[in-house]
Amino acid sequence: ADHFGVPYCLTEEFTIVYRMHPLIPDEYSFRSADDGRPMLDRTLREISGPHSEETLQQVSMADAFYTFGTSYPGAIILNNFPRFLQHFERPDGNFMDLAATDIMRTRELGVPRYNQFRKLLHLPPASSFEELAGDPALAEKIRRVYNNDIDRVDLIVGMFAEKRPQGFAFSETAFRIFILMASRRLNSDRFLTEDFTPEVYTQAGMDWIRDNTMSTVLLRHYPHLRSALRGVDNAFTPWPNTIV
């Protein structure tokens, strides 16, 4: 679709701010959906790729969903990148540091550094490392990496260091891109706009969309989760008994 004279596409800026690997914890404690008791402790390496099937032979899908529903993701901040992804073995046997790769891709694709990116969004740039990081020790670490040049700070580093608005899980800089791209994605999808009709979906389909949530989908497949989801309005938020 063409909105405001600009053809729709997923921009490089969007793909960069979407690099949120710190959300992925390094360690997982699988717990029973019956009573919350610990069942199995695993690292990210031990549940990734082909190892995921090995884990699910020991833990039921209901227990796995209960575990994920009652566990917080990692914070999107500096010094919280999954260790496993910093030494990630690809299917071809080669190793890569995904944290370094994220920064390299940002530079190769021509996405501006943090301060310039902020300026292009009509946001004030960081005037100092202390203003950016808010923590003297972290500010000094970033200063050393970038040779005391605040304008050289990479976009990802700046966004992870940036103080987040109250209630936000990620930076305001990332939010500006998300709010733009999310609305454009919705407006550009005919199945969510002009074709969101009973003629396309059927009335039964429209009723299904109206009457269902993530909770009802989970309960349809895993009714064992009913007690865990009781009183949960939004299954994408932490469920009761979430471990902090």
Residue 8 falls in the annotated catalytic set: no
Pair 95, 88: CB distance under 8 Å? yes
Catalytic residue among 18, 66, 72, 114: 18
Pair 22, 161: CB distance under 8 Å? no
With CA atoms as reference, report the closest residue to 220 among 236, 233, 208: 208
3-state secondary structure of 103: helix
Pair 8, 180: CB distance under 8 Å? no
Nearest-angstrom CA–CA distance, 87 and 26: 12
Other Cβ atoms less than 10 A from the Cβ of 165: the count is: 10
DSSP 31: E
Residues labelled as active-site residues: 18
